[in-house]
Structures are given as C-alpha cells and as structure tokens.
Amino acid sequence: MAARDLQERIKKLIVDRRLPSGAPLPTEPELMKLLGASRNSVREALKALQAVGIVEIRHGFGTYVGPMSLAPMVEGLAFRTVAGHHRGEDSLLQLLELREAMEAGLVSRLAGRLPETDLIELDALVDRMEQRAAQGAGLAETDRAFHAMLYRGLDNALLSEVLEAFWDAFDRVQRDLVELPQDPRVTGRRHREILDAVRSGDSIRAEEAIRDHFGHIRARLSPAVTTRPPDPHTPRNERV
C-alpha cells in the first residue's frame, strides 16, 4: 500500500470516528489489522502525520489525535520567505502584501459591529502602545495583541489562526533578516486611527486606515530589503 494512501486512511479514520484533538488512536497492532498494513508502514505513516500536527506520538503511551495547528504552515512560510530573500527575491514584502490583503478585506466587516467590551479592550491596548511609545519602548507585543483582538470580533477561529500564522511567519523572518527602523509614536497613532475608524462604523475609512498602516510598514521595510545578502558563490575579490 502506498504511503500516501495509508496516511489518507488514518485521516479518514479520525474523521469517521469524529475524534477530537487529544483523543487516543487505535494501537499499532489494531491499526495494522484495520488497515491491512505492516508495522513499519503504519509507523512511517504516523510519523508523516505527526510532522503536520495531525497525530501526536507519545512514546510509552500511544498515539493521539494531534492539535492540528497551523505550525507547519508557519514553518513553511518562514523558510520559503528566508530562502527567497537569499535568492534575491522580495519575499518579505510579498508576505507583508499577503497580510495586508487579508486584513484590508476583513476590517470593513468589523466597522460599527464590534461590541463595546471589545472596543474597551482595544482602547486599553492602544493606550498601552502610546504609553510605551512615549517611553521609546518596543510595541511588538501590544501590536500583535491589537490585531488578534480586532479580528476576534469576526468569531472565526480558523481565520484567527491563519492571521496568527502569517503574523508569526512575518515576525520571525523580519527579525532574522532585517532590522526595521521604527518610530513607535507613529505606530501607536496608526493603530488609534484603525480603532477610531472601526468604532465610527465607516468601513471605507477602516480599510484605508489598515492600508495606511501597512503602507507605513512597507515604506520602512523597502529600504531594508534592497540590500541583498552576498552570493556565497561569488569570489570575494570580484566586484559585483
């Protein structure tokens, strides 16, 4: 039996039995019998599924349904972006544009629709950003919390995970590749504008505020990515 077919049959078993994350899977001998496969084939299929978070192998305890998180997606995005950057591609800018497209397409749906409790939490986050900006402190933590809180209002768990995955990948890559110049006061002001637009119920203004925010990041990022890493195959004494 092909390895891919065996993986698909294990996934189907999880779906058919409606097993949630953390639920135990049949033992190896049971899977061998159910699937008509050898021990080695079953183990290889389980290892492949573990790599993408579908199952979790707990040595000495058994195999369980995995968290099915988007962690493999983050790894793939981050690696692809780093590899592209080192090939001279604008991969970090491309990842930023993908985040912008998603958020700009979503924020208009939130305008005028967030409950007061969410608006109060967002206000507190922007207040904290402005306080930290006045102290010259970094805003990465509060910035991330603001975006997560904002789109939580759409009540879509998968969407929240996807946005977090793009944030994770972008944050990890830009920290590894470039150091962005930043004026935290401008960042705080941009988030205040987004919040004011969402609170006002003006969907066009909300989308413009998001695009202005990402345009500001792009403007800071563009000079940083124009300096490419040296090609390791270029002789050191050759001018390029």
For residue 129, what pLDDT is reported? 93
Whether 239 has a pLDDT exceeding 50, the answer reads no
DSSP string, 102-168: HHHHHHHHHTTTS-HHHHHHHHHHHHHHHHHHHTT---HHHHHHHHHHHHHTT--HHHHHHHHHHHH
Whether 119 has a pLDDT exceeding 60, the answer reads yes
Give the span between the Cα atoms of 51 and 72, in whole angstroms: 8
**Mean of all residue pLDDT scores within the chain:** 86
Give the span between the Cα atoms of 60 and 69, in whole angstroms: 23
Whether 100 has a pLDDT exceeding 80, the answer reads yes
For residue 200, what pLDDT is reported? 95
**H or E segment at 72?**
helix 71-86
Least confident range from 11-20, 109-118, 171-180, 209-218: namely: 171-180
CA 72 vs CA 44, 49, 78, 85: distances in Å: 18, 11, 10, 20
For residue 234, what pLDDT is reported? 40
For residue 74, what pLDDT is reported? 83
Pick the residue with more confidence: 88 or 130? 130
11: pLDDT confidence band, cut at 50, 70 and 90? very high
Which span out of 59-63, 92-96, 101-105, 121-125 was modeled with the highest average pLDDT? 121-125
Report the predicted TM-score, pTM, of the whole model to 2 decimal places: 0.74
Q: CB under 8 Å to 181, separation ≥6 — which residues?
A: 220, 224
Report percent pLDDT > 70 for the chain. 90
The answer to whether residues 109 and 154 touch, using CB atoms and an 8 Å cutoff, is yes
Average pLDDT in the 52-61 region? 92
For residue 167, what pLDDT is reported? 85
CA 168 vs CA 30, 71, 101, 233: distances in Å: 38, 9, 16, 31
Whether 240 has a pLDDT exceeding 60, the answer reads no
- 148 burial type by CB count under 10 A (0-12 exposed, 13-18 middle, 19+ buried): middle
Give me the sign of the Cα torsion angle 38, 44, 50, 54. Answer: negative
The single-letter code of the amino acid at 153 is G
Torsion of CA 217, 218, 220, 221, to 10 degrees: 110
**Pick from 142, 146, 155: which is nearest to 119 by CA?**
146
Q: CB under 8 Å to 53, separation ≥6 — which residues?
A: 66, 67, 68, 69, 71, 72
For residue 181, what pLDDT is reported? 66
For residue 235, what pLDDT is reported? 39
The residue written with tokens 């995955």 in the block is: 165
Neighbours of 209 (CB within 10 A): 22
